Amino acid sequence: MMRVLSVASECVPLIKTGGLADVAGALPGALAECGIDMRTLLPGYPPVIAAAQGTEHDIGALFGGPARIVEGRLGDTVLYVLDAPHLFDRAGGIYLGPDGRDWPDNAERFAALSYAAARIGAEGAMGWTPDLLHLHDWQAGLTPVYLHQLDAAPMKTLITVHNIAFQGLAPAGKLELLGLPDSGFTSEGFEYWGQISALKAGLVYSDAISTVSATYATELLTPEYGMGLDGVLRSRRADLHGILNGIDGTSWLPPYKSPRGKAKHKAALRQEFGLPEAEGPLCIVISRLTEQKGLDLLLEALPDLIEAGGQLALLGSGDPQLEAAFRKAAGDPNVSVRIGYDEPLSRRMMSGADAILVPSRFEPCGLTQLYGLRYGTLPVVALTGGLADTVINASPAALAAGCATGLQFHPVTADALRITLARLSSLWQDQPVWQRMMRNAMAHPVGWDQSARAYADLYESIVSRP
- Domain span at 129: 2-246+448-463
Q: What is the pLDDT of residue 329?
A: 98
Same domain, 72 and 144: yes
Q: What is the pLDDT of residue 346?
A: 96
Q: Which amino acid is located at 303 in the chain? A: P
Is-cis flag, bond preceding 396, omega within 30?
no
| DSSP assigned state of 275 | P
Residue 251: inside a domain, yes or no?
Answer: no
Does the pLDDT at position 153 exceed 80? no
Q: What is the pLDDT of residue 205?
A: 98
Angle at alpha carbon of residue 19, lines to 16 and 25, rounded to 5°: 65
Question: Residue 208, CB half-sphere, CA atoms under 13 Å: how many?
Answer: 24
More confident residue, 388 or 74: 388
Q: Supply the CATH number for residue 81's domain.
A: 3.40.50.2000
Q: What is the pLDDT of residues 422-438, one digit of tens each?
A: 999 999 999 999 999 99
- DSSP SS3 for 3: strand
Q: What is the mean pLDDT of residues 153-177?
A: 96
Does the pLDDT at position 52 exceed 90? no
Question: Taking the alpha carbons of 291, 297, 300, 305 in that order, is the dihedral positive or negative?
Answer: negative
Same domain, 207 and 150: yes
Angle at alpha carbon of residue 285, lines to 10 and 210, rounded to 5°: 40
The DSSP line for 222-258 is SHHHHTT-HHHHHHTGGGEEE------TTTS--S-SS
Angle at alpha carbon of residue 309, lines to 392 and 429, rounded to 5°: 50
Same domain, 310 and 205: no
Same domain, 100 and 240: yes
Distance CA 150, CA 152 (A): 5
Q: What is the pLDDT of residue 249?
A: 83
Same domain, 176 and 301: no
Residue 282: inside a domain, yes or no?
Answer: yes
Same domain, 192 and 99: yes
pTM of this structure: 0.94
Asked whether residue 264 is marked as a ligand-binding residue, the answer is no
Does the pLDDT at position 341 exceed 90? no
Distance CA 117, CA 9 (A): 12
Residue 183: inside a domain, yes or no?
Answer: yes
Q: What is the mean pLDDT of residues 343-365?
A: 97
- DSSP SS3 for 203: helix
Same domain, 55 and 123: yes
- DSSP SS3 for 71: strand
Residue 252: inside a domain, yes or no?
Answer: no
**Strand 66-74, strand 195-197: pairing:** unpaired
Same domain, 30 and 74: yes
Same domain, 350 and 457: no
Q: What is the pLDDT of residue 100?
A: 85
Q: What is the pLDDT of residues 32-50, one digit of tens each?
A: 999 999 999 999 999 999 8
Q: What is the pLDDT of residues 230-284, one digit of tens each?
A: 999 999 999 999 999 999 888 889 999 999 999 999 999 999 999 999 999 999 9
Question: What's the distance, Cα to Cα, between the start and end of the chain in Å?
Answer: 19
Give 400: exposed, middle or buried? Use CB within 10 Å, 0-12, 13-18, 19+.
exposed
Count of domains observed in the chain: 2
Q: What is the pLDDT of residues 357-372, one digit of tens each?
A: 999 999 999 999 999 9
- DSSP SS3 for 53: coil
- Which residues, other chains included, contact 199 with Cβ-Cβ below 8 Å and sequence gap of 6+? 137, 138, 141, 161, 164, 166, 167, 168, 229
| DSSP assigned state of 15 | B
Residue 51 banded pLDDT, cuts 50, 70, 90: confident
Residue 413 banded pLDDT, cuts 50, 70, 90: very high
Same domain, 233 and 281: no
- Which residues, other chains included, contact 356 with Cβ-Cβ below 8 Å and sequence gap of 6+? 283, 284, 285, 286, 350, 368, 369, 371, 372, 377, 378, 379, 380
Residue 417: inside a domain, yes or no?
Answer: yes
Whether 379 and 373 have beta carbons less than 8 Å apart is answered as yes
Residue 75: inside a domain, yes or no?
Answer: yes
Question: Taking the alpha carbons of 348, 366, 435, 295 in that order, is the dihedral positive or negative?
Answer: positive
Residue 253: inside a domain, yes or no?
Answer: no
More confident residue, 383 or 76: 383
Q: What is the pLDDT of residue 57?
A: 86
Give 434: exposed, middle or buried? Use CB within 10 Å, 0-12, 13-18, 19+.
buried
Same domain, 190 and 297: no
Q: What is the pLDDT of residues 87-124, one digit of tens each?
A: 999 988 999 999 889 999 999 999 999 999 999 999 99
Whether 140 and 159 have beta carbons less than 8 Å apart is answered as yes
The DSSP line for 142-169 is THHHHHHHTT-TTSEEEEEES-TT---E
Using only C-alpha atoms, the chain has a radius of gyration, in whole angstroms, of 23
Residue 186: inside a domain, yes or no?
Answer: yes
Same domain, 232 and 281: no
The H or E element spanning position 432 is: helix 431-443
